[in-house]
Chains A and B, each alone.
Chain A
Amino acid sequence: MSQAVVAKLKQEFSAAVVNTVEHRGEMTVTVNKNDIVAVCTFLRDSAGYNFLCDLCGVDYLGSEPRFMVVYNLYNIETKERLRIKAAVGEDDCCIDTVSGVWSTANWPERECWDMFGIAFNGHPDLRRILMPADWEGYPLRKDYPLQGPDRELYQGRLS
């Protein structure tokens, strides 16, 4: 079923869909970050993906573009999942907000900003959410030290 949606998406946004991957029966569609709001609006209105389960960032340090913003969608009618991803580069580290499409996106986008430093254009309230307001750095980036800034690495066993 989600293949049909992906085919429809490819037809509608032929330029925006970068690639599609299936792994363990789950579809992941990577789209161009400039079209993210259009794609999400289309998926909500025409494909029934009315529920945004989760939104998060991923840091692929060393590859270009460096970050991915991942949207896990759910269709409450057909009980199907679909994953949308958009690549975000380090220099132009921002993407349009989808909080206008699903209000759910508000806090997860703040968390993504807090943890990865990915800004969301047009977000109603882009502040840090888990870290203190004056915190420096973005903890979930791969080049951020596990033990925190300016601290010795823990000398016991970690793994």
Chain B
Amino acid sequence: MATKETMTINMGPQHPSTHGVLQLILELDGETVVKATPHIGFLHRGVEKLAENRSYHKALPLTDRLDYLAPMSNNLGYVLAVEKLLGITHEIPQRAKVVRVMMAELTRIKSHLVWLATHALDIGAMTVFIYCFRERELIMDMYEKLSGARMTSNYFRVGGLSEDLPEGFEQDVKNFIDAMPGHLKTYEGLLTGNAIWQKRTQGVGYISAEDAIDIGLTGPALRASGVDWDLRRDNPYTGYEEYDFEVVTRERGDTFDRYTARLDEMRESCKIIQQCLDRLEDGPILADNPGVCLPPKEKVLNSIEGLIHQFKLVTDGFKPEPGEIYQGIEAPKGELGYYMISDGSANPYRMKVRPPSFVNLQALPQMVEGSLLADVIATIGTLDIVLGEIDR
């Protein structure tokens, strides 16, 4: 019997379809993938180590840089974790909670738009890429209005928000969510019935519900395999229990189902954002807890008490009582968890991030082995990974 010869090739870390610095070592038999070994870590910045050497307020900007396509979700997970550690979750004012939900859902749309854009581009549909980035730009503009930065927003604070919504912001959001369903129809018109798109996605990258749970998939990737689990509904945080929305699930667990599931998730996000706009009422944006919350800027600039207050919190920080907590949120890509340990000092003793992309990427080999090389590209796209949070 003749021995079968396989060829080993590198895909990445410099490759346009690996969505960053991901390296895959592929063993190929002709065009069929026999074995896929992901290599990660090229973007490792030691975020967890850095956080151990900063006070709680100062570790917040590190979290923007995890999943840089969804910075506000990362901020949200972190501030919720610290608030839980402090035991002040119930003190967060209503307005801050509503704005947090609104921005988290806008962030979900923003992240899903980049996913759709790059996923479609990888498979060869360039028009969708341009359209998605056009809409994403509107959310970037809102980010900029709100926080001054387009990507590293750093807008939420432990205890609430850094500042109130700027003038006219609600109208911007309203205009966006009114237009978004029409845009989604456009994307669907370009892709869903497209024979090439269907051939490239249907049955590709299949994973069953049991395998998905076993390997730890979360988010839309898990729900497309038929598991009805969404942390926003099942372990609600920051007031999600008050909102009315559907958890989008699919049955087949292939790339096409994950595509339609994410599109529908964007529709649900628009629904939630509309409810946020209806609920927005005037009120405080920071908890009334001077031992934790930074004072508003005008107090710092105009009064000695405000300045001392700011100085004291920035130099000394606050000290949560010793203990440990885990806070998981439904980030656009799946469950984003923060496991925090306090030893009673002003710095976190340990901050472990559970990045959804890291765990989801682990499923890649079993999803692509036995399929064609071209399907690897589609499967990386459908998993929606960001190397910033994988490598941390």
A residues adjacent to B (C-beta < 8 A): 23-24, 26, 28, 50-54, 56, 58-59, 70, 72, 74, 76, 79, 81, 83, 102-104, 106-108, 115, 128-132, 139-140, 144, 146, 158-159
User: Interface residues of B: mostly helix, strand, loop or mixed?
Assistant: mixed
B392: CB under 8 A from chain A? yes
List the B side residues contacting A108 at CB < 8 Å. Answer: 359
Chain A residue at minimal CB-CB distance from B358: A107
Q: How far is A79 from B237 in the complex, measured between Cα atoms in Å?
A: 13
Tell me the minimal C-beta distance from A3 to chain B in angstroms: 17
List the A side residues contacting B325 at CB < 8 Å. Answer: 23-24, 26
User: Interface residues of A: mostly helix, strand, loop or mixed?
Assistant: mixed
Number of B positions contacting A (CB below 8 A): 41
In the complex, the answer to whether A56 meets B352 with C-beta atoms within 8 Å is yes
Tell me the minimal C-beta distance from B344 to chain A in angstroms: 13
In the complex, the answer to whether A53 meets B53 with C-beta atoms within 8 Å is no
In the complex, the answer to whether A104 meets B326 with C-beta atoms within 8 Å is no
Q: How far is A25 from B85 in the complex, measured between Cα atoms in Å?
A: 11
Partner of B49, one of A83, A128, A140: A140
Tell me the minimal C-beta distance from B366 to chain A in angstroms: 9
Which of A56, A74, A115, A146 counts the most B-chain CB atoms under 10 A from its CB?
A: A74
List the B side residues contacting A28 at CB < 8 Å. Answer: 324
Tell me the minimal C-beta distance from A89 to chain B in angstroms: 18
Tell me the minimal C-beta distance from B133 to chain A in angstroms: 30
Q: How far is A11 from B22 in the complex, measured between Cα atoms in Å?
A: 46
Q: Mask for B313-357, Cβ within 8 A of A = 1, else 0?
A: 000000000011110100000010101010000010110101000
In the complex, the answer to whether B216 meets A103 with C-beta atoms within 8 Å is yes
In the complex, the answer to whether B49 meets A130 with C-beta atoms within 8 Å is no
Known: A53-B326, A54-B337, A104-B362. A159 touches B216 (CB 8 A): no
List the A side residues contacting B214 at CB < 8 Å. Answer: 102-104
Chain A residue at minimal CB-CB distance from B347: A159
In the complex, the answer to whether B339 meets A72 with C-beta atoms within 8 Å is yes
In the complex, the answer to whether A54 meets B41 with C-beta atoms within 8 Å is no
In the complex, the answer to whether B326 meets A83 with C-beta atoms within 8 Å is yes
List the B side residues contacting A53 at CB < 8 Å. Answer: 216, 326, 328, 335, 337, 354
In the complex, the answer to whether A159 meets B55 with C-beta atoms within 8 Å is yes
Q: How far is A115 from B214 in the complex, measured between Cα atoms in Å?
A: 24
Tell me the minimal C-beta distance from B207 to chain A in angstroms: 12
Partner-contacting stretch, out of B102-110, B120-128, B227-235: B227-235
In the complex, the answer to whether B354 meets A76 with C-beta atoms within 8 Å is no
The 9 A-B residue pairs whose C-beta atoms are closest, nearest first, are A104-B216, A23-B323, A130-B41, A54-B354, A56-B352, A79-B234, A130-B44, A103-B214, A107-B362
Q: Which of B34-67 contact A (CB under 8 A)?
A: 40-41, 44, 46, 48-50, 53-55, 58
Known: A23-B324, A58-B350, A159-B55. 16 other contacts (CB 8 A): A24-B323, A50-B213, A53-B335, A56-B350, A56-B352, A58-B341, A72-B326, A76-B227, A104-B362, A106-B362, A107-B359, A107-B362, A108-B359, A131-B44, A132-B41, A158-B53
Q: How far is A113 from B49 in the complex, measured between Cα atoms in Å?
A: 15
List the A side residues contacting B350 at CB < 8 Å. Answer: 56, 58-59
Tell me the minimal C-beta distance from B357 to chain A in angstroms: 11
B165: CB under 8 A from chain A? no
In the complex, the answer to whether B358 meets A140 with C-beta atoms within 8 Å is no
Chain A residue at minimal CB-CB distance from B44: A130
In the complex, the answer to whether A24 meets B216 with C-beta atoms within 8 Å is no
B84: CB under 8 A from chain A? yes
In the complex, the answer to whether A140 meets B339 with C-beta atoms within 8 Å is no
Tell me the minimal C-beta distance from B81 to chain A in angstroms: 11
Partner of A56, one of B87, B339, B362: B339
Partner of B84, one of A24, A146, A159: A24
Q: How far is A50 from B211 in the complex, measured between Cα atoms in Å?
A: 11
Ordered by A's residue number, 7 sampled pairs between the chains whose C-beta atoms are within 8 Å are A53-B354, A54-B354, A59-B350, A130-B392, A146-B49, A146-B53, A159-B54
Chain B residue at minimal CB-CB distance from A112: B352
B130: CB under 8 A from chain A? no
List the A side residues contacting B326 at CB < 8 Å. Answer: 26, 53-54, 72, 81, 83
List the A side residues contacting B216 at CB < 8 Å. Answer: 51-53, 102-104
Q: How far is A153 from B358 in the complex, measured between Cα atoms in Å?
A: 31
Partner of B58, one of A50, A54, A146, A159: A159
List the B side residues contacting A23 at CB < 8 Å. Answer: 323-325
Chain B residue at minimal CB-CB distance from A73: B326
List the B side residues contacting A146 at CB < 8 Å. Answer: 49-50, 53
